[in-house]
Amino acid sequence: MSRLEAAFRAGRTTLVGYVMAGEPDLQRDVEHARAVLAEVDVLEIGVPFSDPVADGPTIERAHTRALARGATLAHAFALARALRGQSDKPLVLMTYYNPVLQRGLATFAREAKDAGVDGVILPDCPLEESAPAGDAFAKAGLDLVQLASPATPPERMARLAKATRGFLYVISSYGVTGARATLPPEAAEVVARAKSACGSTPFAVGFGVSAPEHVRQLAAAGAPGVVVGSAIVGRIERGDSSSQVREFVRSLRK
């Protein structure tokens, strides 16, 4: 069992947080990431990219700002390395396939593992095209996390659950990432379908989860894990200190 999968076996709802490498700047991103990591069970680190097709306005702006500051994949590795030096909690890179291919699958996997990364999420890499990355990551000891959408039929979700490593990322709503005032009406039904299709494979529900009440609703529906991203990135964008960001994430945990 990988460290990432073990985080979902603790007998409680697993809280997954997200930060963008290079936000709020190239120096203080470590401070903010540590604050979030202190309160979550798993931390996703966003790798700045010029065409983040799965991300909504808040995280897209973070990509743009981080790139303008000179944040790169190497900087994301450095951030992971700094966090790994102080924590044993799982770290996951959230990136797109282009930077991975540019680096070379084997090189990327080796560098990610050396930085202390446990898993990788590639939102633009469908199951049918994921074998090369999955094989390269597995050889390096990394989990490739697959994604399922609200439109994923049960039989395909079962295939995704079988193929994924660490956990299955289940998208709660149609569209891109982004904080929402309320969860979409289909969220509970998506959780129910995932529970039926995934069997013993853990999954986490994300996209639009932005308030303690959302976390409670998804946990009550039976979601083994919940992902919060844009709500955290938005607070960093508006200038919240690391302690303020940590307090918000603590409210999600409570």
Strand partners, 92: 44, 119
Side-chain-side CA neighbours of residue 115 (13 Å) = 26
* Residue, of 174 and 117, whose pLDDT is higher: 117
pTM of the model: 0.95
Tell whether the model's pLDDT for residue 26 goes beyond 60: yes
- pLDDT-derived band at 129 (thresholds 50, 70, 90) equals very high
Tell whether the model's pLDDT for residue 74 goes beyond 80: yes
Over residues 240-251, the mean pLDDT reads: 98
Domain annotation for the chain: domains and CATH numbers = 3-253 (3.20.20.70)
Mean pLDDT estimate for the chain = 94
Angstrom distances, CA of residue 15 to CA of 31, 43, 203, 253: 19, 9, 11, 7
Active site residues: 44, 55
Q: Among the residues of 85-186, which ranges form H helices?
A: 97-103, 105-114, 131-140, 154-163
Side-chain-side CA neighbours of residue 161 (13 Å) = 20
Alpha-carbon span 248 to 221, nearest angstrom: 22
DSSP 87: -
Which token pair is 179?
């904080």
Per-residue model confidence (pLDDT) at position 86: 95
Over residues 113-135, the mean pLDDT reads: 97
Give pLDDT tens digits for 152-194.
999 999 999 999 999 999 998 665 554 566 787 778 889 999 9
Sign (positive/negative) of CA torsion 24, 78, 52, 142? negative
